[in-house]
Amino acid sequence: MSADNPFFSNTESGDRSLVYLLQGMLDASPGFLCYCEPIWEKTGPEPSPLVDLVYKVVNQPLCRLLGRSVDQVVNQPVSHFLPSAKATGLLDHCAQTLATKQGRQFDFSYNADGFSGRYRIEATPLLEGLVISFNKLSAQPDVQPADQPSMLQSIIDNSLSGLMGFVAIRDEQNAITDFRISFFNPACLALTGLSANHFRQRTFRQQVPPDHLPAIMTVLHQVVTHRQSTRVEFFSSHINRWVDIGLSPLGDGFLASFIDITDRKQATTRLQSIIDQAHTAVATLKPVRADEPGSDIVDFEITLANKALEDYIKSSVPIVQRLLSESFPSYITLGLFERYRQTADEKVRQRFEFHYNADGIDAWVDIQSVPLDGEVLVTLSNHTLLKQTQLQLENKISELNLLNENLEQFVYTASHDLQEPLRKVRTFGDMLLDSYEPSLGEAGTDLVRRMQGAVSRMQELIRGLLAYSRTTTDRQPHQVVDLNTIIDDVLDDLEPVLTETKAHLAIDPLPVIQGDPLQLRQLFQNLLANAVKFSRPDVLPDIHIDVHENQQTDLPSGLNIPPGGFVVIAIRDNGIGFDAEHEERIFELFQRLNNRSQHTGTGIGLAICKRVVENHGGTITVQSKPGQGSTFTVYLPHS
């Protein structure tokens, strides 16, 4: 570090001598000193985990320990030089100090990233960060120096991992040209199946396939020269096994530690084979952040994908370990990136329907995104055909509804417009009879009267059509309706015909429901009027209105049951009845079962009843036998 460090960039020139004095004191210290500022993970309102520290001030001993200059260390994260700081628990100690704002001293063993030793560390909160000083402790007093080599050899020999030490072979320009083996352990021999003499007699270059050598030597130069540890997985054709190798700087060479991961690789391959058979696309996405841990997510890296996902882009290039934006360039602008970001940052499980219509893809997918160990697990179920069918069906329904509306409007308008010419025809007929009946004679008068009868039937038919049309066009918002009041009003309207026929009525107390009072009145008026109209000759009408408690097993098939169940009302008479084969047909428009000379009517009344009940979310059925009367059962949702 120098006085030109950005940390002191705002220092007044008059204070620079103090800065140099401070730096000199730090550099003269025999221990390792630094000032670091924290990097927190952005996770919301809860206390944020510490993900790293950034060097802001360092002394020369620390730089020499790291093998870097001051400028190469300052403003770099600790994990850049100590990748295992989090895994070993070192960051947890620092996080605790920051959280408690209490200075603390602790002893800590760090045996990773090319470092090996036990250190006494003092961490003191200062401003927004920590002042950290540490010294390497001497070996444990109960271990004598003479015992150390044998103890180290015992550790190496008993390690389950294969261990090999290599020392650089340099040319006259001090450039590394090869490596010789300095030691190896029994696990190494067991894993490779090679003899000790094989390793002793060969340099590193002599044991590596020539086509792999340039790339491997480049990695080893980084490890030895820049003191950067790394890991790599590869398949060794010599031993027919998958191996995970860790490379760490060790003196003027490196330490290679390796384990057999064949079983894990085979399990991974089986898992990949299984998910490749799935029709559902599966992927795991690793967040890619802008600059450093804890910063904003700018993209995602695909760490696992199955064939179903690759089929979307129809590319022969593998998409694993590539950015998601490279395979699906429009996923950010379409809003899919923001969904995945929410899952990653806010730990939110999501399920949603999405239309991806870009990058040569046109698909409707059901997407689930789940946080998983710092990544995002995504599954996509393609239901494009189902969605297209649904949209087509919705369009057809809209077209059908429009046609029905137009037809009903036409019926209403046509029926209304036909009334006037019919009234004129009837008026002219009356005028003919009043003024010219003697001249018409008996035959002419009969023709005029038959014409007027036809006009009357036509007017009645038109009124029926208008009433049927209004059950759709004049629907009112439902309100509380007392059916007892409705029945009282209907009986008032029918009083003359009830009195004339001496009809007997027995009516149960009726419930209160939600409905359209005008349509419900029309429903019961039509049913009661029919019960009187279709009575048997010389038999007084006997009409009953019964209310039943319904059971789900008693309901007509296909009827959706509302939360409150149904009100079941039966209108039972002792009239002429009809054959059971007509029980469905009788509710169709213009359907009549009787001769017009015996019973007048248009065949519209029961069709209106059916429409009214359906408008209320119910249904109507009938049971009848010739000469034994009929029972019309109305199912209306309970309020």
- Name which of 87-101, 160-174, 425-439, 524-538 the model is least confident about: 425-439
Report the topology of domain 148-264: Beta-Lactamase (3.30.450)
Percent of the chain whose predicted confidence (pLDDT) is above 90: 19
Please give the structure tokens belonging to residue 105: 């001293």
Give the integer Cα–Cα distance in Å for 81 and 113.
8
Query: CA–CA separation, 247 vs 47, rounded Å?
Result: 36
474-637 carries CATH number 3.30.565.10: yes
Which neighbouring-strand residues pair with 53? 38
Give the residues across from 126 on adjacent strands: 129
Task: Give the C-alpha separation, 91 to 633, whole Å.
Answer: 78
**How many other CB atoms are found less than 10 A from the CB of residue 230?**
14
Q: Is the pLDDT of residue 5 over 70?
A: no
Distances (CA, A) of 25 to 20, 179, 443: 9, 41, 138
First to last CA, the chain: 82
SS (H, E, C) 142-210: CCCHHHHHHHHHHHHHHCCCEEEEEEEEECCCCCEEEEEEEEECHHHHHHHCCCHHHHHCCCCHHHCCC
Q: CA-to-CA distance for 107 and 91, rounded, in angstroms?
A: 14
Question: b/e per residue, 589-604, with b = 16+ CB within 10 A?
Answer: eeeebeeeeeeebbbb
The number of angstroms, rounded, from the C-alpha of 494 to the middle of its chain's C-alpha atoms is: 60
Q: Does residue 14 surpass a pLDDT of 50?
A: no
> Minimal CA–CA distance to 459: which of 411, 410, 413, 426?
426
Secondary structure of 291-347 in the HEC alphabet? CCCCCCEEEEEEEEECHHHHHHHCCCCCCCCCEHHHHCHHHCCCCHHHHHHHHHHHC
Q: Write the class of the CATH domain 387-468.
A: mainly alpha
One-character DSSP codes across 15-61: GHHHHHHHHHHHHH-SSEEEEEEEEE---SSSPPPEEEEEEEEE-HH
Instruction: Check for a shared fold between 24-137 and 474-637.
Output: no
Burial class, 316, CB count within 10 angstroms (exposed 0-12 / middle 13-18 / buried 19+):
exposed
Distance CA 368, CA 349 (A): 7
* Residues 347-379: tens digit of each pLDDT: 999 999 999 999 889 999 999 999 988 899 999
DSSP bridge pairs for 168: 179
Query: Looking at residue 601, what is its pLDDT?
Result: 57
* pTM exceeding 0.75: no
Query: What band does 118 get if pLDDT is binned at 50, 70 and 90?
Result: confident
Provide the CATH number for the domain formed by 279-374 in this structure: 3.30.450
C-alpha to C-alpha distance for 455 and 433, rounded to whole angstroms: 15
Most confident of 143-152, 514-523, 578-587: 514-523
**pLDDT value at residue 258:** 85
Is 582 within 8 Å of 606 (Cβ atoms)? no
Q: Is the Cβ–Cβ distance between 350 and 379 less than 8 Å? A: no
For residue 560, how far is the Cα from the chain centroid? 29
The architecture that CATH gives domain 24-137 is 2-Layer Sandwich (3.30)
Q: Could you tell me if 561 and 552 are in contact, meaning their C-beta atoms sit under 8 angstroms apart?
A: yes
Per-residue pLDDT, 431:
85
Per-domain boundaries in the chain: 24-137, 148-264, 279-374, 387-468, 474-637
pLDDT in tens, 130-139: 999 998 887 5
More confident residue, 72 or 554: 72
Q: What is the pLDDT of residue 169?
A: 92
How confident is residue 142, by pLDDT bands cut at 50, 70 and 90?
very low
Q: Among 517, 431, 445, which Cα is nearest to 480's?
A: 517
* 10 confidence band (pLDDT: 50, 70, 90): low
User: What is d(CA 309, CA 282) in angstroms, rounded to the nearest whole number?
Assistant: 6
Q: Which three-class secondary structure state does DSSP give residue 432?
A: helix
Average pLDDT, the chain: 82
Contact yes or no for 310/330 (Cβ under 8 A): no
